[in-house]
């Protein structure tokens, strides 16, 4: 699908990285980017977000490039999206909708598909009015007196019923996960969750640790479905390791809400391995973005070890960093090259002793 990408620079220092990330999202969704338009603004335009001058520029570009769709690297209000589509004459998809579309494309498990469908419906219900603008122009005509409003209310009811049904089904999944967690707790098994920015290499690291064969690719949101495996660590015995969905800046709140059942694995983990792409120039910002989401889901106080992955790309050697108390704080690995994994296993073994071996330990003193 041919696409024009529109990106707005509000003077942010990290604008270029943000724009590159959106281009990866677009190509990951299957778009062929035929042109990119950059608008510089102090604040969004209320009607078009990018202002009427840029709208005219894009309209001319549409005539010459013949795109199928416009991809917008910011969230748009329903009114802004409707106004742009009226001028351009083709579909406009904003950042939130694009991320939802990628999740729909990548979800494989029954649970993952339910979660994506819930997020899409919750997002759609806020934008239903724009689907019925063709009836607004005909209101009052013979046979069309008031159908727009009645159809809109009907659609809202149908979506509401579907949302309730999906929430009930996901609640059952959540109960099943809770039962599994209680079983692990009774067996004194350490539960570890891999978290991190999307494309940090979590699934590759998960496969290296567990030999699970989970899907891993150099693309955003390669993993949506949580996979859990048991492994045996010398000096620590059996532990469970879970691979979870990656985070991204401006992650839609509807997605966070819909993926509550999946993210429960993170919230209830004993230990988080926060996987960071050591080769990324945006690693510090990405770390902050992940911490922001962890706080939003209530996982900010869980003991965490920072795992700097992809060190082979920047010529670093595997190593372990300890804090002032002597506990492991950072581990440097290459999941692709399978180097540094012994240090990571050692870190998890030590963490199990600290977390499950003495329940009176104050976690913040060690992590």
- Residue 170 is labelled as binding a ligand: no
Q: What is the Cα Rg of the chain in Å?
A: 23
- Residue 197 is labelled as binding a ligand: yes
- Residue 312 is labelled as binding a ligand: yes
In which residue are the tokens 């806020």 written?
A: 126
- Residue 89 is labelled as binding a ligand: no
- Residue 221 is labelled as binding a ligand: yes
Pairing of strands 91-94, 69-72: parallel
- Residue 36 is labelled as binding a ligand: no
- Residue 198 is labelled as binding a ligand: yes
- Residue 214 is labelled as binding a ligand: no
- Residue 266 is labelled as binding a ligand: no
- Residue 148 is labelled as binding a ligand: no
- Residue 223 is labelled as binding a ligand: yes
- Residue 109 is labelled as binding a ligand: no
- Residue 277 is labelled as binding a ligand: no
- Residue 203 is labelled as binding a ligand: yes
How many Å apart are CA 313 and CA 215, to the nearest integer? 21
How many Å apart are CA 152 and CA 182, to the nearest integer? 45
In which residue are the tokens 């991809």 written?
A: 71
In which residue are the tokens 């498990």 written?
A: 109
- Residue 215 is labelled as binding a ligand: no
- Residue 321 is labelled as binding a ligand: no
- Residue 339 is labelled as binding a ligand: no
- Residue 196 is labelled as binding a ligand: yes
- Residue 225 is labelled as binding a ligand: yes
Which residue blocks in the chain are alpha helix, DSSP H? 15-28, 52-65, 78-88, 95-106, 110-124, 133-136, 147-186, 202-210, 253-258, 260-267, 283-296, 341-356
3-state secondary structure of 274: strand
- Residue 77 is labelled as binding a ligand: no
Q: Is 200 in contact with 309 (CB distance < 8 Å)?
A: yes
- Residue 63 is labelled as binding a ligand: no
- Residue 227 is labelled as binding a ligand: no
Q: Is 354 in contact with 366 (CB distance < 8 Å)?
A: yes
- Residue 199 is labelled as binding a ligand: yes
- Residue 66 is labelled as binding a ligand: no
| Residue ranges of the binding site for Mg(2+) | 203, 223
* Residues making up the binding site: 196-203, 221-225, 243-246, 309-312, 334-336
Which segments are annotated as binding site for GTP?
196-203, 221-225, 243-246, 309-312, 334-336
């Amino acid at each position: 699908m041919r696409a024009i990408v529109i990106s707005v620079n509000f003077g942010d220092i990290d604008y270029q990285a943000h724009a590159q990330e959106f281009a990866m999202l677009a190509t990951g969704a299957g778009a062929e980017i035929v042109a990119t338009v950059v608008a510089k603004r102090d604040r969004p335009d209320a009607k078009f977000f990018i202002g009427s001058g840029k709208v005219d520029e894009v309209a001319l570009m549409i005539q010459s490039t013949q795109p199928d769709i416009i991809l917008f690297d910011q969230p748009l209000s329903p009114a802004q999206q409707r106004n742009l589509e009226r001028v351009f004459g083709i579909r406009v998809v904003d950042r939130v909708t694009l991320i939802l579309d990628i999740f729909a494309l990548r979800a494989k498990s029954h649970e993952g598909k339910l979660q994506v469908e819930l997020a899409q419906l919750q997002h759609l219900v806020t934008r239903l009015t724009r689907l019925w603008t063709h009836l607004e122009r005909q209101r009052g005509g013979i046979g069309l007196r008031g159908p727009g409003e009645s159809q809109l209310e009907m659609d809202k009811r149908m979506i509401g019923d579907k949302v309730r049904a999906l929430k009930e089904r996901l609640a059952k999944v959540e109960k099943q996960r809770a039962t599994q967690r209680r079983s692990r707790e009774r067996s004194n098994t350490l539960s570890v969750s891999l978290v991190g920015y999307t494309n940090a290499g979590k699934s590759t690291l998960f496969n290296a640790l567990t030999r699970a064969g989970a899907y891993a690719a150099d693309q955003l949101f390669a993993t949506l479905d949580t996979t859990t495996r048991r492994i045996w660590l010398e000096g620590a015995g059996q532990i469970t390791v879970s691979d979870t969905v990656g985070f991204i800046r401006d992650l839609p709140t509807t997605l966070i809400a819909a993926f509550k059942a999946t993210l429960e694995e993170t919230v209830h983990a004993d230990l988080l391995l926060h996987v960071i792409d050591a080769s990324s120039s945006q690693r510090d910002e990405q770390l902050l973005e992940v911490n922001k989401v962890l706080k939003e889901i209530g996982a900010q106080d869980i003991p965490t070890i920072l795992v700097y992955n992809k060190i082979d790309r920047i010529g670093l050697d595997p190593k372990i960093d300890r804090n002032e108390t002597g506990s492991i704080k950072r581990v440097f690995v290459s999941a692709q090259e399978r180097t540094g994994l012994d240090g990571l296993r050692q870190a998890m073994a030590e963490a199990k002793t600290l977390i499950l071996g003495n329940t009176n330990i104050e976690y913040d003193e060690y992590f």
